[in-house]
Amino acid sequence: MKEMPKISDSEWEVMKVLWRKYPVTSSEIIEALKEYISWSPKTVHTLISRLVNKDAIEVKKTEPFYLYSPKISEDECKRVETKSFIKKVYDGSIHLLISNFLKDEKLSGEEIEELKKILDGKKK
């Protein structure tokens, strides 16, 4: 399997649009981002070009538009980014990450039960 490209925070925003709906035109990406980010169309086009160059998205020419689709899955990107974060911030210790998170966050009973199920599954 090829190596997952390193995606910047800004590029993540473009990827999130593509993961929600694809294929889309650059105009559709710009419109979707405009709802919560005030980037110029030129900035969005630059981010799209970077993602194409990184082989994270593909582009298909269909007259008169270019259509963009993700080439990498959201789940795989999240897994890679999570592992990178844990390695960088917690020296690879998932225990430290979870411990720090649980100390600072309030969890519902449902969330606690879900975490228990995940942990019990790891015992087997």
86 and 38: one domain? Answer: no
Provide the CA 69 distance to its chain's centre, in angstroms: 14
Rounded to 10 degrees, the C-alpha dihedral 63/66/67/71 comes to 130
CA atoms of 87 and 70, how far apart (whole Å) = 26
Q: DSSP E strands: which ranges in the chain?
A: 57-62, 65-70
Cα separation values, 60 from 14, 36, 44, 68, Å = 17, 27, 18, 7
**Residue 33, in any domain of the structure:** yes
DSSP state of 24: B
51 and 29: one domain? Answer: yes
106 and 53: one domain? Answer: no
pLDDT of residue 63: 87
Q: What is the pLDDT of residues 18-56, one digit of tens each?
A: 999 999 999 999 999 999 999 999 999 999 999 999 999
**Residue 2, in any domain of the structure:** no
64 and 15: one domain? Answer: yes
**Residue 90, in any domain of the structure:** yes
**Residue 1, in any domain of the structure:** no
Q: What is the pLDDT of residues 4-17, one digit of tens each?
A: 899 999 999 999 99
The CATH number of whichever domain residue 26 belongs to comes to: 1.10.10.10
Domain containing 16 equals 9-70
Q: Which residue has the tokens 């799209």?
A: 48
If one compares 124 and 121, the residue with the highest pLDDT of the two is 121
**At which of 70, 94, 115 does a domain end?**
70
51 and 89: one domain? Answer: no
**Residue 3, in any domain of the structure:** no
Kindly state the average pLDDT of the residues 73-94: 94
DSSP state of 6: P
